Amino acid sequence: MDFALSEEQTAIFDMAYGFGQEHIAPFARQWEKDETIPKEIWPKIAELGFGGLYVSEDAGGSGLTRLDATLVFEALSMACPSVAAFLSIHNMCAKMLDSFASEELKSRIMGDVLSMNTVLSYCLTEPGSGSDAAALKTKCDRTNDGYTLNGTKAFISGGGYSDAYVAMVRTSDDGAAGVSTVYVEDGTAGLSFGGLEDKMGWRSQPTAQVQFDNCNIPAGNLVGEEGKGFKYAMMGLDGGRLNIAACSLGAAQTALTSTLQYMGDRKAFGKPIDQFQGLQWRLADMEIELQAARTFLRQAAWKLDTGAPDATKFCAMAKKFVTEAGSKVVDQCLQLHGGYGYLADYGIEKLVRDLRVHQILEGTNEIMRVIVARDMLKNR
């Protein structure tokens, strides 16, 4: 079993890391204050091939594996997990469109999606349906010209900011089998947005409700087949869970690296605090946890790439383990910084806030446990 990255994978990581450190890290705190990410950054990211990471090469994408993609998100989150996570959402939508949209729809939109002149948002969650996603109520009624949408999506990253919305909607009352996927472009009549949510973390990502009020879209904006939308949405979540875990991993690694530097500089009782054995043990525990998380994440990504029958279980386990490990590490890094860790200037408190939501989105960590337990019981 070979745990080493290939030369190509190392180059992918280094390219993403270099871009993040030059074009994202110096501005991340200001973007957080502004509560937005400048849209000019996305076409620059797309020039690296990151606008369609696992869109097929035949369709103009990069055709990377899921393991390759985790390297991109780990590297970019070392600059800012909020920006990296938003890119993950765009890529999840792009993969859905590449896999299931009609050739006519893809010919209209995929060029701008891959160049990130069109930034995408994923619309599944509603005010009354979070973990029970199949209970969504947004209605999608057929008309002579296409479809009419009515309903509200909640907690949407990019709500009011993105250029198009990939939305899961109800075309019949048949539970999960009544859910379809549609593509809604910004500016469509009947599409509106709630006010920006005032969030604990991910503050550079504009987040708002997405509202449909007699919103009419053409028939060609149906993605795939009616009644298959819930399946499409769930297929995208395995990769999304790996990506969000990678964002936790990269951010926690940055926190640990900066903490090592701080502890060598900071003195107490006449010597650098990295010379106290009790604090050295804390450093060792964090290193062990992050290395275990990295190995687990890459194993899960490998299983998804190879189509292993237990891939969904491993993606759920990795998401749960890595996001909790990441939050634990950044919290310990804040503690080791003492009072300075509580100050924005040192960057640790931002990571604590940003990473907390990773245990909630892409399926809560409680739902990850449900997925794992069900698989265990089914196969006992």
| DSSP bridge partners of 150 | 139, 213
pLDDT value for 2: 81
Residue 180's φ and ψ, nearest 5 degrees, are -125, 170
> Mean pLDDT over residues 108-128, rounded?
97
Q: Taking 80 as the threshold, does the pLDDT of residue 377 lie above it?
A: yes
| DSSP bridge partners of 181 | 168, 223
Q: Taking 80 as the threshold, does the pLDDT of residue 357 lie above it?
A: yes
Query: Which residue among the candidates 57, 126, 362, 366 is catalytic per the annotation?
Result: 362
Residue 126's φ and ψ, nearest 5 degrees, are -130, 165
Task: Report the distance separating Cα 224 and Cα 242, nearest Å.
Answer: 24
pLDDT tens digits for 62-97? 999 999 999 999 999 999 999 999 999 999 999 999
| DSSP bridge partners of 21 | none
At 236, the pLDDT band (50, 70, 90 cuts) reads: confident
Q: Taking 90 as the threshold, does the pLDDT of residue 235 lie above it?
A: no
Contact by Cβ (8 Å): 213, 194? no
> Mean pLDDT over residues 193-199, rounded?
97
Q: At what angle do helices 311-336 and 365-378 cross, to 10 degrees?
A: 140
Burial class (CB in 10 A: 0-12, 13-18, 19+), 89: buried
DSSP string for residues in 1-18: ---SPPHHHHHHHHHHHH
pLDDT tens digits for 288-337? 999 999 999 999 999 999 999 999 999 999 999 999 999 999 999 999 99
Q: Taking 80 as the threshold, does the pLDDT of residue 1 lie above it?
A: no
Cβ atoms < 10 Å from Cβ of 175: 11
At 155, the pLDDT band (50, 70, 90 cuts) reads: very high
Average pLDDT taken over every residue of the chain: 96
Task: Report the distance separating Cα 34 and Cα 51, nearest Å.
Answer: 24
3-state secondary structure of 254: helix
Q: Taking 90 as the threshold, does the pLDDT of residue 349 lie above it?
A: yes
pLDDT value for 173: 92
Q: What is the 8-class DSSP label of residue 40?
A: T
C-alpha pair distances (Å), 159 with each of 33, 84, 154: 18, 17, 9
If residue 146 lies in a helix (H) or strand (E), which one and from where to where?
strand 146-157
**Percent of the chain with pLDDT strictly greater than 90:** 95
| DSSP bridge partners of 149 | 140, 215
Q: Taking 80 as the threshold, does the pLDDT of residue 249 lie above it?
A: yes
Closest C-alpha among 123, 148, 377 to residue 233: 123
pLDDT value for 154: 97
DSSP string for residues in 276-301: -HHHHHHHHHHHHHHHHHHHHHHHHH
3-state secondary structure of 380: coil
pLDDT value for 150: 98
Residue partners of 230: CB distance under 8 A and separation at least 6: 133, 134, 168, 176, 177, 179
pLDDT value for 120: 98
> Mean pLDDT over residues 16-28, rounded?
98
> Mean pLDDT over residues 237-256, rounded?
96
In this structure, the chain runs to a length of: 380
Residue partners of 324: CB distance under 8 A and separation at least 6: 359, 365
Q: Give yes or no: 362 in active site.
A: yes
Closest C-alpha among 100, 177, 178 to residue 139: 178
Task: Report the distance separating Cα 97 and Cα 90, nearest Å.
Answer: 11
Q: Taking 80 as the threshold, does the pLDDT of residue 216 lie above it?
A: yes
Residue 13's φ and ψ, nearest 5 degrees, are -60, -50
pLDDT value for 234: 87
Q: Can you give the pTM of this predicted structure?
A: 0.95
pLDDT value for 133: 85
pLDDT value for 325: 98
| DSSP bridge partners of 142 | 147
At 239, the pLDDT band (50, 70, 90 cuts) reads: very high
pLDDT value for 372: 98
